Structure 1
Amino acid sequence: LLAEGCVTDAKGRAVTGGKGKVYQGEVFTVRIPPPTPAEPEGQDIPLDVVYEDDDLIVIDKPAGLVVHPAAGNADGTLVNALLAHCKGSLSGIGGVERPGIVHRLDKDTSGLMVAAKTDAAHRGLAKQFEDHSIDRAYLAVVWGVPRPTEGEVEGNIGRDPKNRKKMAVVGEGRGKYAKTYYSVVERLGTRTALVECRLATGRTHQIRVHMASLGHPVVGDPLYAGRHGRQAGPTGALPEDVKKTLVDGKGQALHAYILGFTHPASGERLQFKSKKLNYINMLCDIFRSV
């Protein structure tokens, strides 16, 4: 409940830490989220299917779609869509709430994902994620231009001690090791850059945390870009039309555009490239002239 922001103090501020003392007379409000169904049901939610066979399915997830049911998102998720599309033929290794789910993308991160239809396919794909042999590349529009324009970011990632909804680069002995390779694809005007990020590991919010740690957070990121997320750039206020585009946009400008893996049944190496870069391309066009 704390992590989900369901506990607030008398002034309406979220209580995210569990180590603080409670004193007599203090008043807190606890919001109980709706219960999550024990077994998600299939729902007719459109899917952009990139590839499908008897063992697995590759989809291009839109921004705004939650991957699996959880507190606050009991249905309307990718899992509900997959259950309907695959007629219930999904791997059960992830449990009743996550059938077929081998990996995840954040709600507002769009792009390519693979789901397993069989337990054997799930095990084979999970092993590749564990071995870091999956090829994953993302495109991101970030504030500023990283220097050097090509490099790597290393740093353990764990829960932010000041905000349990966020992750952060933490010291040795805490969190999990994470490594991201980045390369500037194009400098966009004077404020932003288009960057390709490749994952050597796969931690929660990894690219968002690592780029923010460099001082170049992802445009539109409500968690890690601070006041620059949708309202202003590092060099000052944005034009009103640009600001409106970001406020009305689809979350952080981060898209998983390449996904490659070895098919767990056939042994064939498969490589997919997303064609749904509309939001990224739109932002690039906007920032080239700002």
Structure 2
Amino acid sequence: MSYNKRNTKKSSNGTIIFKVNEPGELLPFLLQQMDNRSRNSVKSILTRGQVKVDDHIETKHNYPLQRGQVVSVLKNKVAVKASTLIGMKILFEDNSIIVIEKDAGLLSIATETEKKNTALHQLMDYVKRSDPRNRVFVVHRLDKETSGVMMFAKSEKVKRKLQDNWRELVQERTYVALVEGELTKPEGTIKSWLKESKTHKMYSVQDRDGQLAITHFRKVQSNKQFSLVEVNLDTGRKNQIRVHLSDIGHPIVGDKKYGAKTNEIGRLGLHAKILSFKHPVTEQLMLFRSDVPKSFFAKSR
């Protein structure tokens, strides 16, 4: 099988891009396209996860290629990491945990309708590239439309330790919310018990027939239409911030589910700004910060 080498280009970050003109297998295709490299060198590039077919990393030598597909060879492992983690970036990693910064629009974990385009699935692929036995475990979640700092465990043992001792280990969880309306109180605390309806919507009750939720808030800035609010959590219940801010008459921008009438920034106005915790193994105090989106400030000036 011969392959046409004309459809080749190099991007600004050093990625080499090949267009597939006829069906074949991945390794023979790469060997012909990269005939300045030895067979072992090309096989190593494949094994290290430096080859993408269309939008996914592919390491199988006999992966079938179809006409019209695009094969990209990334420059190095750093490029692989940057190119394959879509909608997120790694802030910290060691043998026990991974801390990421998640974009709005990326699911934390799989749903019935979306299995692969999630933070968990991407991180699982990422850690398996160095050792197929590696795993990643969910410790806590951010809603799909919430951006910011999030942590995963790299073993079942670390996951259990973090979840079982969450209140003791986590020193600070600070969120920033862009809400509708001018917040008149400079600060306050919201306390209720949360329950979930049959339609999976959370709501507050005061009779303790639910999960206790405590939210502290502080106004950062506001105008007649919007307020920027800093939020700290004593508890981490599902949709807690969204419910509580709606309860006081200031739903989060873009949160139609909990009463918002506007979507001025094209996303949910909620961002996980700070996560500080004692490392589950070393007990070192760690703090991770994610910059608040500029649109939050612009709308609330």
Check if 1:272 corresponds to 2:288.
yes
d(CA) in 2 for partners of 1:225, 1:211: 10
Return the offset for 1:54: 1.0
Flag the 1:145–1:287 CA change in 2: closer, same or farther, 3 A.
closer
Which deviations, in whole Å up to 9, do the C-alpha atoms of 1:36-94 show, x marking residues without a partner? xxxxx999333311111111110001111111112111221111111122115655xxx
Kindly indicate which of the two structures has a greater share of residues assigned to strand.
Answer: 2
One-letter amino acid of the counterpart of residue 205, structure 2: V
Q: Partner of 2:237: helix, strand, or coil?
A: coil
d(CA) in 2 for partners of 1:144, 1:132: 35
One-letter amino acid of the counterpart of residue 262, structure 1: K
One-letter amino acid of the counterpart of residue 176, structure 2: L
Instruction: Report 1 or 2 for greater relative contact order, CA contacts < 8 Å, sequence distance ≥ 6.
Output: 1
**Are the equivalent residues in 2 in contact too, given 1:83–1:89 (CA < 8 A)?**
no
Q: Tell me what 1:103 maps to.
A: 140
Check if 1:169 corresponds to 2:209.
no
Q: Partner of 2:120: helix, strand, or coil?
A: helix
Q: Tell me what 1:157 maps to.
A: 194
**Are the equivalent residues in 2 in contact too, given 1:42–1:81 (CA < 8 A)?**
no
Percent of aligned positions that are identical: 33
Q: Partner of 1:155: helix, strand, or coil?
A: strand
TM-score normalized by the length of structure 2 = 0.67
One-letter amino acid of the counterpart of residue 137, structure 1: T
One-letter amino acid of the counterpart of residue 183, structure 2: P
Q: Partner of 2:258: helix, strand, or coil?
A: coil
Q: Equivalent of 2:85, from 38, 45, 63?
A: 45
Structure 1's unaligned 5+ residue stretches are: 1-40, 92-98, 231-244
**Are the equivalent residues in 1 in contact too, given 2:221–2:229 (CA < 8 A)?**
yes
Return the offset for 1:149: 1.4
Q: Equivalent of 1:115, from 148, 152, 160?
A: 152
CA RMSD in angstroms, aligned pairs only? 2.2
Q: Equivalent of 1:229, from 262, 269, 285?
A: 262
TM-score normalized by the length of structure 1 = 0.69
Which deviations, in whole Å up to 9, do the C-alpha atoms of 1:110-140 show, x marking residues without a partner? 1100100122321222133254744100001
d(CA) in 2 for partners of 1:58, 1:48: 9
> Which runs of structure 2 are paired with 1:60-75 in the superposition (5 Å)?
60-75=101-116
d(CA) in 1 for partners of 2:143, 2:239: 7
**Are the equivalent residues in 2 in contact too, given 1:262–1:269 (CA < 8 A)?**
yes
Which deviations, in whole Å up to 9, do the C-alpha atoms of 1:244-282 show, x marking residues without a partner? x53xx1x2110001001111111101011113x33xx22
d(CA) in 2 for partners of 1:219, 1:273: 22
Return the offset for 1:211: 0.3
Flag the 1:74–1:61 CA change in 2: closer, same or farther, 3 A.
same
Q: Partner of 1:223: helix, strand, or coil?
A: helix
d(CA) in 1 for partners of 2:133, 2:150: 17
**Are the equivalent residues in 1 in contact too, given 2:217–2:231 (CA < 8 A)?**
yes
Q: Tell me what 1:81 maps to.
A: 122
Q: Partner of 1:115: helix, strand, or coil?
A: strand
One-letter amino acid of the counterpart of residue 93, structure 2: E
Q: Tell me what 1:284 maps to.
A: 297
d(CA) in 2 for partners of 1:42, 1:131: 39
**Are the equivalent residues in 2 in contact too, given 1:132–1:201 (CA < 8 A)?**
no
Return the offset for 1:182: 0.3
- Which protein has the larger Cα radius of gyration, Structure 1 or Structure 2? 2
One-letter amino acid of the counterpart of residue 55, structure 1: S
d(CA) in 2 for partners of 1:129, 1:67: 19
What is the aligned residue count? 217
Flag the 1:157–1:131 CA change in 2: closer, same or farther, 3 A.
farther
